């Protein structure tokens, strides 16, 4: 069997563009999809390297690096927002090396296969999950017996059996192009100190939100599949040994949907003496109904929740978005988090189909009351493969003229029937804290900064002239309020 040189390409430049390494989530985190299939291919003996477009200066630079690598196979992952850079990458690959086999996978291939088939120069399109299918396809190509069909359906792997994500695939590449951050991935909040990593414990989601489903079901099935706690703890142990990570984040859509898993994880995490802070995604209704689980997570190291509040209007939240939560649960969850000292990262949308200005104001009012630590607003974006996308298409509402606009950003018009000047006002107003909340936050910030030791130094009493004083133990810091 011939020895193949395999180059994976990460095309995620629709947000910040080329030369954007170290710039937060968009350009400082790994792609778990590519890292996972790299690990699977390496486990079968293939040589795999990466070209991350975010690390390059432009398309000419891509041509140069591609020519240097001379790969036999190029594999690309594609979300809807990546369509344009993937299409251009494929064109360049075939021009630089006409005999290179091009394989494209990722969410957009599965949820919009017909659209993906229109990309020229692609030899194979892999749908669904690829940890089992991609290495097998490489073996067939290496043996000179490639599939005759262009579309290859991926098989769902046993998540406890596949290798852990190949993070060095990204780190090794980034460092060639000036990545000098002392962290495997770029930290994004002060509550999560470096070295920082992201982890995925499972795939899929049991809920039925109209802005997500059924696209996610096409990818992973209707139920969520989660790695065993033992498997996740083992990976965290390896990450501690390799990177000595200081904090991490679970990427899962909703880690807290399984109480039993959380209970076992928090126990094992503490028994293993990790003591590293972490964030994860949750839902308002889960937080409200399972406060005891929240407490257990805090004991284990939870510092913050990403919560999809989405809307402050009952009709929009329930009937249009099908979130399965209530506005009152949004308020209650925020109160619980505030009482327990949990950082809130608030996800919400403005400009949802059929949403009125009064309903947008309901969301603004909710954000002012919730007073989250971090705001993450978006203008509703109709993503292919979802029920709300179909609604937008059926009613001729889409204003998206380019795939780059499938970003979850609150800066450009996405659908007809919405006043985006008003929505921009609403976006800014939703993030403008009430004076009383600004005052509370300032006081809490000052309390965190205050220690008795700092006060003593400020008063000039920290150094005594007597020999006895020189040997006294340092004054202990007062506990933070």
User: Tokens 């769902």 correspond to what residue?
Assistant: 156
Structure confidence at residue 41 (pLDDT): 98
Residues in a beta bridge with 343? 304
CB-based burial of residue 449 (10 Å sphere; 0-12 exposed, 13-18 middle, 19+ buried)?
A: exposed
Contact indicator for 321, 310 with CB cutoff of 8 Å: yes
Q: Which helix (H) or strand (E) holds 5?
A: strand 5-10
What element of type H or E holds 203?
Answer: strand 202-203
pLDDT < 50 stretches in the chain: 462-481
Q: Choose among 1, 20, 24: nearest CA to 11.
A: 20
pLDDT of residue 269: 98
Torsion of CA 381, 350, 15, 102, to 10 degrees: -20
The pLDDT, as a whole number, for residue 446 is 80
All CATH 3.40.50.280 domain ranges in the chain, comma separated: 5-153
State the Cα–Cα distance between residues 31 and 7, nearest whole angstrom: 15
Q: Coil, helix or strand for 308?
A: strand
Q: 433 in helix, strand or coil? A: coil
**How many CB atoms neighbour CB 328 within 10 A?**
11
pTM summary value: 0.91
Concatenated DSSP letters of 306-325: EEEEE-S-HHIIIIIS--S-
Neighbour count for residue 364 (Cβ, 10 Å): 21
Structure tokens that stand for 40 in this block: 């699977």
CATH architecture of the domain with residue range 5-153: 3-Layer(aba) Sandwich (3.40)
Phi/psi for 296 (5° steps) reads -60, -40
| Cβ-proximal residues to 31 (8 Å cutoff; 6+ apart), any chain | 10, 12, 77, 170
Provide the 10 A C-beta neighbour count for residue 332.
17
What are the pLDDT digits (tens) for 109-123? 999 999 999 999 999
Q: Which residues pair with 203 in a beta bridge?
A: 225
Distance CA 450, CA 468 (A): 27
pLDDT tens-digit readout, 240-250: 999 999 999 99
- CATH 3.20.20.70 range(s) for the chain read 194-441
- What's the pLDDT score for residue 445? 78
- At residue 440, the pLDDT reads 87
What is the third-level CATH fold of 194-441? TIM Barrel (3.20.20)
**In this structure, what token pair is assigned to residue 202?**
């499972």
| pLDDT at site 335 | 98
> Are the beta carbons of 269 and 255 closer than 8 angstroms?
no
Helices marked H in 301-434: 314-315, 327-340, 357-370, 387-394, 420-430
């Amino acid at each position: 069997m011939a020895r193949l040189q395999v180059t994976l390409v990460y095309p995620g430049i629709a947000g910040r563009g080329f030369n954007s390494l170290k710039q937060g989530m968009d350009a400082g985190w790994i792609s778990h999809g590519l890292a996972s299939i790299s690990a699977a291919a390496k486990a079968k003996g293939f040589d795999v390297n990466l070209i991350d477009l975010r690390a390059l200066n432009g398309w000419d630079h891509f041509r140069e690096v591609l020519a240097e690598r001379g790969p036999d196979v190029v594999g690309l992952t594609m979300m809807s927002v990546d369509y344009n850079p993937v299409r251009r990458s494929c064109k360049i690959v075939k021009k630089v090396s006409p005999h290179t086999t091009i394989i494209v996978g990722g969410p957009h291939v599965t949820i919009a296969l017909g659209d993906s088939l229109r990309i020229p120069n692609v030899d194979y399109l892999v749908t669904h999950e690829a940890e089992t299918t991609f290495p097998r396809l490489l073996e067939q190509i290496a043996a000179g017996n490639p599939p005759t069909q262009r579309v290859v359906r991926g098989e769902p792997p046993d998540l406890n059996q596949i290798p852990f994500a190949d993070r060095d695939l990204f780190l090794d590449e980034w460092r060639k192009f000036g990545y000098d951050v002392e962290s495997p991935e770029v930290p994004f909040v002060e509550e999560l100190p470096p070295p920082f990593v992201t982890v995925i414990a499972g795939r899929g989601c049991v809920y039925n939100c109209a802005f997500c489903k059924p696209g996610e079901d096409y990818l992973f099935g209707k139920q969520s599949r989660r790695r065993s706690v033992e498997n996740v703890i083992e990976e965290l142990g390896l990450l501690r040994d390799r990177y000595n990570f200081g904090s991490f984040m679970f990427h899962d859509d909703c880690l807290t949907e399984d109480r039993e898993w959380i209970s076992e994880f928090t126990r094992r995490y503490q028994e293993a003496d990790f003591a590293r802070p972490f964030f994860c995604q949750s839902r308002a209704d889960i937080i409200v109904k399972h406060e005891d689980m929240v407490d257990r997570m805090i004991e284990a190291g939870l510092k913050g929740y990403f919560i999809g509040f989405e809307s402050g209007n009952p009709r929009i939240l329930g009937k249009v978005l099908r979130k399965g939560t209530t506005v009152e649960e949004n308020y209650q969850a925020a109160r619980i988090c505030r009482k327990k000292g949990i950082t809130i990262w608030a996800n919400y949308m403005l400009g949802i189909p059929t949403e009125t200005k009064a309903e947008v104001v309901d969301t603004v009012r909710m954000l002012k009351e919730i007073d989250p630590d971090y705001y993450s607003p978006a203008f509703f974006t109709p993503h292919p493969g979802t029920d709300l996308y179909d609604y937008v298409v059926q009613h001729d509402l889409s204003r998206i003229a380019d795939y780059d606009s499938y970003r979850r950003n609150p800066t450009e018009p996405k659908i007809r029937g919405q006043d985006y000047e008003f929505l921009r006002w609403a976006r800014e107003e939703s993030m403008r804290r009430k004076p009383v909340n600004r005052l509370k936050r300032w006081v809490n910030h000052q309390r965190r900064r205050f220690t008795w030791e700092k006060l003593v130094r400020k008063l000039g009493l920290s150094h005594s002239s007597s020999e006895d004083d020189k040997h006294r133990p340092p004054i202990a810091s007062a506990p933070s309020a």
